Amino acid sequence: MTLLLVAVALLAGGAFLAPPLAGRPRAARAVNLACTVCGCLAGLAPALFVLSGGDIPELRLPWPVPLGEMSLAIDPLSAFFLIPVFVVGLTAGVYGEGYLEAAHGHLPTASVRFFFLLLTASMALVVTARNAVLFLASWEVMALAGFFLVCAEDGDARVRRAGFIYILCTHAAVLCLFIMFAVMGSRAGSMDFAAMKAAMPGPGPSLGGLFALALVGFGMKAGFMPFHFWLPEAHPVAPSHASAAMSAVMLKMGVYGLLRFISLSPAVPAGWGVVFLVLGAASALLGVLFALAQRDLKRLLAYSSIENIGIIGLGMGIGALGLAHGNQTLAALGFAGALLHVLSHSLFKSLLFLGAGAYNQAVGSRNIEGAGGLLRRMPWTSLFAWTAAASACGLPPFTGFIGEWVLFRGFLGGGLSGDSRSIVFGAAVLALLGGLAAACFTMAYGTLTLGEPRGASAREAKDPDGLMLWPMALLATACLAVGLFPGPVARAAALSAASIGGLAPAESARALDAVMAPLALIGAIGAAAVVLSWLFWSLRQALLRRRTVALQPTWGCGFTLPSPAMQYTASSFAQPLLLVFRGLMPSEVELRPPVGYWPERAGFRSSLPDPLLDRCLLPAAEVVERSLAFLRRAQHGHLQLYLLHVLLFLIVLLMWKL
């Protein structure tokens, strides 16, 4: 526990050192790197200790805030979430140093450093807090640090708009959490989680109401589908390492909150499981479909985060159904699958965002259709991004496969043990998702890295320097290692899953072991595939050594004068799929077809506005704003009158209460 405090203190200390050191770039950089690395490593130690079966006593310190107490504990659930917090904090933090340097002062360096470290420290507190006041305080610090990271480039009007949407959503979510904790706390007479758990209402409308509040509050942060709309706005505009931390870890705080809520509630009605399944399926399907329609790389990744949160939601749905029906195996599988996917997603999504940042800086634009041919120009970045993309598609032997495998087995198990609707529904959704995700990442990765450069900036792209490459290498290795050797991670997930539903750890571990057994074989096959491809590559090198190799442009196709514009684009790749699903996603097309035998100009442009944000919420907000325009008159600017309002209000208040 001391180590965790040391970690938080180091991160926060590093944060507060960043602004005063802004004048001395070298010192600031060294301090920031040291604090990030030492802090995150110190924080990982207790998490790993707990996940390997250790036990750390709870820490309680007095805190003068009303009802607050510095009450921290690391149970397996907290420990499992601490791992992504610190792993991504470490890699993205180190990468961020390189990124800030490569940005050449386009970014407010000191404030990005400050808020990034603060974000990591506050997330570590969120998952370990055992007092609602402490939890909410850290939650709020996390949300605000995220806001300032989103608004790092606030000279751009789109960034300000994204920041505005983000802060509205995050505060709507916090409001729900305040109400929820206030209700729970007033029942318990204390803001302590343990006391709250003892005083939770039994199954009934009041428990359902609390669940609804938790679902909106935490679900908004996690990005489940009806509450997702802030995410594709906010994540693309933040600096890439901040997007990585937000997308890979901050969203998971919402998942953590929901799991913690389940662990606090005395009973889990089957309805919750169904709600999770439906929300998860909707988020996953629509998330990946919208991702397919995006041309902005980071926006695509943000929609893909919604998809993965949906997969986690499916897992939570199975887990909750298992708890509701008293089926321990099912519960363990569901929650463990969700947790494994939490870990996988945090690894590959942070890597994808870091890779996107490198591409972005090399090409100078986030539009994937402006790039191309980067595989040869940025080999290392492309290799790491490929690992991440393969993980994101759920291909063995990479990490994304493990969580989905456990979930598939969970769905099958659920179907065999009687809950047959869930198997049809969930397994079908998950299968469809795998295919769509593969299409999505093939499109994005292929357009970026294959073929010929479509612009001058892409032609001169180069790999970034070591400070940005090494963190990516670390994450890529982690993606592969977890996929090849899932044993320890699965055991940790089983332990955490057991602590959610109050299951016996041995039972949970046994359930997971049974499921994981074939994975050794799959891992071996995967490893063989990796080794085999390396062998083929070396063989090719060996065979070609003595011969002259002529390089031809890709997509030559026998044209005498091929141009990069003849290549397959992302839009054309995605179009058939989007045509199938156009009922779900009405895109706006601007088409100028070629006319005549020798057409002079032709054009095609399609865009997909977010149906919820652009078609419902923003128009509704406009109507509200117009109907409240008369209140603007109160904003007259006369200081004296403002003070008069205060004076009159105080007097009226005094007269009324006395």
Partner 1 sequence: MDQISQLLLVATVFLGFALLGSSSMSGCVNLLALQGYCLSVLPFFLHHEEHSARAVLLAAGMAFLKGWLVPRILLHAIREVRIAREVEPLVGYVPSLLIGVVIVGLSVVLGQRLPLPPGNHSGLLVPISLATMMMGLFLTVSRLKALTQVIGYLVFENGIYLFGLLVFRETPWLLEMGILLDVFAAVFILGIVIQHISRQFDSIHTDKLTQLKE
Residue type for 581, please? F
If one asks whether residue 651 binds partner 1 (CB under 8 A), the answer comes out as yes
CB 369 within 8 A of CB 111: no
Binder among 546, 547, 601, 636 for partner 1 (CB under 8 A) = 636
Q: Please report which residue ranges of 545-657 form alpha helices under DSSP H.
A: 570-580, 618-627, 639-657
The nearer residue to partner 1, 602 or 651, going by C-beta atoms, is 651
For partner 1 (CB under 8 A), the number of binding residues is 16
Tell me the window of 166-174, 237-245, 619-627, 640-648 that interacts with partner 1 (CB under 8 A): 640-648
Tell me the window of 72-80, 312-320, 515-523, 633-641 that interacts with partner 1 (CB under 8 A): 633-641
If one asks whether residue 647 binds partner 1 (CB under 8 A), the answer comes out as yes
Binder among 514, 529, 532, 644 for partner 1 (CB under 8 A) = 644
Phi/psi of residue 418, each to 5°? 115, -25
The 3-state DSSP class for residue 502 equals: coil
Task: Compute the least distance from the CB of residue 91 to partner 1, in Å.
Answer: 42
If one asks whether residue 652 binds partner 1 (CB under 8 A), the answer comes out as no
Binder among 93, 640, 652, 656 for partner 1 (CB under 8 A) = 640
If one asks whether residue 624 binds partner 1 (CB under 8 A), the answer comes out as no
User: x/- contact string, 584-623, with partner 1 (CB under 8 A)?
Assistant: ----------------------------------------
DSSP string, 81-139: HHHHHHHHHHHHHHHHHHHHHHTTTSS-HHHHHHHHHHHHHHHHHHHHB-BHHHHHHHH
Task: Compute the least distance from the CB of residue 277 to partner 1, in Å.
Answer: 47
Residues in the chain: 658
Which residues is 61 bridged to in the sheet? 70
CA distance 59 to 428: 45
Tell me the window of 3-11, 135-143, 275-283, 629-637 that interacts with partner 1 (CB under 8 A): 629-637
Binder among 23, 593, 654, 656 for partner 1 (CB under 8 A) = 654
The 3-state DSSP class for residue 591 equals: strand
The nearer residue to partner 1, 545 or 638, going by C-beta atoms, is 638
Task: Compute the least distance from the CB of residue 651 to partner 1, in Å.
Answer: 7
Binder among 103, 646, 652, 656 for partner 1 (CB under 8 A) = 646
Omega of the bond leading into 201 within 30 degrees of 0 (cis): no
CB 227 within 8 A of CB 169: yes
- Going from the C-alpha of 335 to that of each of 162, 256, 331, 498, 629, the distances in angstroms are 33, 11, 6, 8, 49
How many helices (H) and strands (E) are present in the chain, helices listed first?
25, 4
Phi/psi of residue 129, each to 5°? -65, 140
Task: Compute the least distance from the CB of residue 632 to partner 1, in Å.
Answer: 9
Task: Compute the least distance from the CB of residue 647 to partner 1, in Å.
Answer: 4
CA distance 165 to 136: 21
If one asks whether residue 198 binds partner 1 (CB under 8 A), the answer comes out as no
Find the helix or strand (DSSP H, E) in which 187 lies.
helix 157-188
Phi/psi of residue 635, each to 5°? -90, 65
Tell me the window of 114-122, 155-163, 479-487, 634-642 that interacts with partner 1 (CB under 8 A): 634-642
The nearer residue to partner 1, 104 or 636, going by C-beta atoms, is 636
If one asks whether residue 631 binds partner 1 (CB under 8 A), the answer comes out as no
The nearer residue to partner 1, 431 or 651, going by C-beta atoms, is 651
CA distance 453 to 461: 10
Task: Compute the least distance from the CB of residue 657 to partner 1, in Å.
Answer: 9
Binder among 603, 633, 639, 656 for partner 1 (CB under 8 A) = 639
Binder among 616, 650, 652, 656 for partner 1 (CB under 8 A) = 650
The nearer residue to partner 1, 551 or 628, going by C-beta atoms, is 628
CB 321 within 8 A of CB 275: no
The nearer residue to partner 1, 584 or 643, going by C-beta atoms, is 643
If one asks whether residue 626 binds partner 1 (CB under 8 A), the answer comes out as no
The 3-state DSSP class for residue 34 equals: helix
If one asks whether residue 655 binds partner 1 (CB under 8 A), the answer comes out as yes
Q: Among residues 11, 10, 13, 75, which one has the least CA distance to residue 46? A: 75
CA distance 274 to 269: 9
If one asks whether residue 627 binds partner 1 (CB under 8 A), the answer comes out as no
The nearer residue to partner 1, 30 or 650, going by C-beta atoms, is 650
The nearer residue to partner 1, 560 or 635, going by C-beta atoms, is 635
User: Residue 385 has which token pair?
Assistant: 């991004």
Task: Compute the least distance from the CB of residue 640 to partner 1, in Å.
Answer: 5
CA distance 125 to 63: 15
Residues forming the site for partner 1 (CB under 8 A): 635-641, 643-644, 646-647, 650-651, 654-655, 658
